A = this chain, B = another copy of it.
Amino acid sequence: MTGKDAFAALPVGKTVTVRKTVSESDVYLFAGLTGDLSPNHVDEEYMRKTKYGRRIAHGALIVGLMSQASTKIITDLPGTIVSYGYDRIRFPAPCFLGDTVTVTYEIVARDEAAMKTFARVTATSQRGDVVAAATHILKVVE
């Protein structure tokens, strides 16, 4: 029962962090592969006239960094574990190109019968602003 062993290794309180400077190349590759070329992300001149003043990263890119953290917390665990979903993702402050983001991923609840874990995930910039927050759900499937 490798899946049960993996689930046992994901107690409430287990925490990982990942960090990355969100570069222009990250945002431009992300724009290209998702097709989201909103001026918010790729038009510096346009953004200069808004209250933000410059280009901001895609929220979904920060969700991708949350995904890295969820993979880190299950590294080398046996069985198959998948992302079940996210609840209530919010982007309270902008993440500018060049910002260094720290993602903290902490397991805060477990559903024993369904072998799901619920994590509070917070992405914070070097300014201390929360640029994204969510609840993420992992599920042990086998």
Chain A residues proximal to chain B, CB less than 8 Å: 18, 20, 25-26, 29-30, 33-38, 40, 50-52, 56, 58-61, 63-68, 70-71, 74, 80, 82-91, 94, 141-142
Contacts and interface: CB of A to CB of B under 8 A. Distances in A.
Nearest to A71: B38
A34 B68 contact: yes
A55 to B, nearest CB: 12
A84 B18 CA distance: 23
Given A20-B35, A36-B64, A36-B71, 18 more contacts: A26-B33, A29-B33, A30-B33, A33-B64, A34-B65, A35-B65, A40-B80, A58-B67, A58-B83, A60-B60, A60-B66, A61-B64, A63-B63, A64-B64, A82-B94, A85-B88, A85-B90, A89-B89
Number of copies of this chain that the complex holds: 2
Nearest to A46: B80
Contact of A83 (B51, B59, B82, B88): B59
By secondary structure, the A interface counts as mixed
Nearest to A49: B80
Nearest to A28: B33
B84 A86 contact: no
A36 B88 contact: no
Contacts of A59: 67, 83, 85
Contacts of A94: 82
